[in-house]
Chain A
Amino acid sequence: MKILVCISNVPDTTSKINFTDGDTKFDTNGVQFVINPNDEFGLTRAMWFKEKQGASVHVVTVGTAAVEPTIRKALAIGADEAIRVNAEPTDGYFVAQQLAEVIKNGEYDLVIAGRESIDYNGGMVPGILATLLDMNFVNTCISLEIDGETVTAMREIDGGKEKIETSLPLVIGGQKGLVEESDLRIPNMRGIMMARKKALNVVEPITADKATEDAKFEKPAPKGAVKLVDSVDALVDLLHNEAKVI
């Protein structure tokens, strides 16, 4: 089985968000970048397939040279090869088109992407990708078992979960649940050394349209101070009469 894991390079979850250039650009100053958490669950599930059922695992990212440390981390965790599409990931449609091209050329059985990236939260890349390639698609995937061609996946739905049967080739939008959090891996010294010898193939982007563009950013308005109360009576009164939410 040949697996491709799509990796998005995102600000680490504790990052304070700021904008520059008249609020038109995300300020990367002092921000630590990491593998998108939803992708990290997917990468770990791919490593499980590699180790338990036999699979080759490639990782791909769309990004400039600046994202190489993140994709190297995926190699250090155990991916066999990496691909970087050398382009600024401008919008979800553009990224999906670039990834579709990589997948067409690589003949993957399984493509694991994250449900959404925690920076722009578009959540559209896996679905667009699957549709462009006419592959089966399961989103918000929280478990994945593969037996030959047969796939059993669980996906999260509002208020519960749904079991889905499908077949390869398949794209999933994965998330927490795909593996236990305690199974997520931190690259060790040996992994980091081995990663240096692994191929990081840089491919040039195809011409693709972008459908949307973030023209300007804004931070939420500062919040007023909390009203602290010392009795439940006072709280209920405020919720009922002031906020009018109960």
Chain B
Amino acid sequence: MSVIVYTESENGKLKKNAFEVASYASEVAKQMGTSVTAIAINASDVDELGNYGVTKALNVSDESLKIFNAKAYANTISQAVEKEGGKILIVSSSTDTKFMAPIVTAKLKAGYVPNVVAAPENASPFTVKRTAFSNKGFAHTEIKSDMKIIGVSNNAFGVHENKVDVAVEDFNASISDSDFSTKSVEIDKVVGKATIADADIVVSGGRGLKGPENWGMVEELADVLGAATACSKPVSDLGWRPHGEHVGQTGKPVASNLYIAIGISGAIQHLAGVSSSKTKVVINTDAEAPFFKAADYGIVGDAFEVVPQLIEKLKELKAQNA
């Protein structure tokens, strides 16, 4: 009865979060004295999972699953879990996985806990620590059901190498036309750029930037850092930036290693979305801005002076380390 982990891929390659959830599964398996079986869909590099403690990988190759479909993916994963007789399933926190996991939950009559930030703290009752109240608190949640699903928060557990031999097997689930009753007809996605969900660094701008025409420097800063761009809610409400970039309690959560907030006041609803980020930097003209209380590093200064200097300095650093 191994621990099962669903390792997400994109364009045929496992995502960074796949290695994090594999690392997490490996830790759970260690606690339970068992092994890890991964399930991957249309990934060509499942061998890589052996670096993170996965001893068996079920690989699904299916043209019809090329584009993510929540129901069809949920069916595939549920069938893999049943075949393996797994009682614990580990998943990531991507938007797709959060769409799919509740479907698996209902299919397998499981207890599902998303937003988990640490390895299980207790096996009986099975208890995990997760964020709640939009990151303003933590809950220690007991999973009472026989089947358990854990959604690991991005970057909360990290990637831990643990090299083992991995046996790769083909796996084919039976999926039917009715699984495709919702059909993707168009995907509008920026390719080749880090997204808020995956990025190690997020550069975010607020109303202090005055207008969309000033975002050039935010994007340049993000480029230098290989970061994703984000914004506060009024900025997306005003249409300066797309909705998907809005961070906070009613927007996206950010759990990056570094969050740089430029011209953002730090309202409680915004902070709720960024408190899982490890290091927070604030650039703001107002020394009284509440964000300074939540930040690790800060510069009281004008973004229009500080950001260009920062870009130059980072370019220098990059050149030195190249």
- Footprint of B on A, CB under 8 Å? 11, 13-14, 16-17, 19, 26, 37-38, 91-93, 96, 118-128, 130-132, 136-140, 142, 155-167, 173, 175-177, 181, 209-220, 223-224, 226-230, 232-233, 235-236, 238-240, 243, 245-246
Q: Which residue of the partner chain, among B131, B138, B182, B296, contacts A164 with CB atoms under 8 Å?
A: B182
B183 smallest CB distance to A (angstroms): 5
CA distance A227 to B112 in the complex (A): 39
Stretch of B55-63, B98-106, B157-165 on the interface side: B98-106
A interface SS class: mixed
B249 smallest CB distance to A (angstroms): 6
| Given known contacts A166-B181, A232-B309, A214 and B141 CB-to-CB distance under 8 angstroms | yes
Check: B185 CB closer than 8 A to any chain A CB: yes
The reply to whether B243 and A177 form a contact with Cβ atoms under 8 Å apart is yes
The reply to whether B144 and A219 form a contact with Cβ atoms under 8 Å apart is no
The reply to whether B296 and A136 form a contact with Cβ atoms under 8 Å apart is no
Q: Which residue of A lies closest to B136 (CB)?
A: A17
Return chain A residues, CB-CB under 8 Å to B268: 13-14
How many A-B pairs fall under 8 Å by CB?
259
| Given known contacts A159-B195, A209-B145, A239-B279, A223 and B299 CB-to-CB distance under 8 angstroms | no
The reply to whether B98 and A123 form a contact with Cβ atoms under 8 Å apart is yes
B230 smallest CB distance to A (angstroms): 12
Return chain A residues, CB-CB under 8 Å to B120: none
User: Which one of A38, A160, A175, A246 has the highest number of Cβ atoms from chain B below 10 Å of its Cβ?
Assistant: A246
| Given known contacts A122-B114, A245-B278, A176 and B141 CB-to-CB distance under 8 angstroms | no
Check: B306 CB closer than 8 A to any chain A CB: yes
Q: Which residue of B lies closest to A243 (CB)?
A: B279
10 more CB-based (< 8 A) A-B contacts, given A14-B268, A158-B198, A246-B225: A121-B114, A125-B102, A128-B105, A158-B96, A161-B189, A173-B99, A213-B142, A220-B275, A227-B298, A232-B313
User: Which one of B112, B183, B258, B295 has the highest number of Cβ atoms from chain A below 10 Å of its Cβ?
Assistant: B112
Check: B123 CB closer than 8 A to any chain A CB: no
Q: Which residue of the partner chain, among B251, B258, B292, contacts A228 with CB atoms under 8 Å?
A: B292
Return chain B residues, CB-CB under 8 Å to A213: 141-142, 144
Q: Which residue of the partner chain, among B98, B142, B181, B296, contacts A215 with CB atoms under 8 Å?
A: B142
A184 smallest CB distance to B (angstroms): 11
| Given known contacts A215-B142, A235-B299, A245-B201, A161 and B105 CB-to-CB distance under 8 angstroms | no
CA distance A220 to B196 in the complex (A): 23
Check: B66 CB closer than 8 A to any chain A CB: no
CA distance A173 to B133 in the complex (A): 19
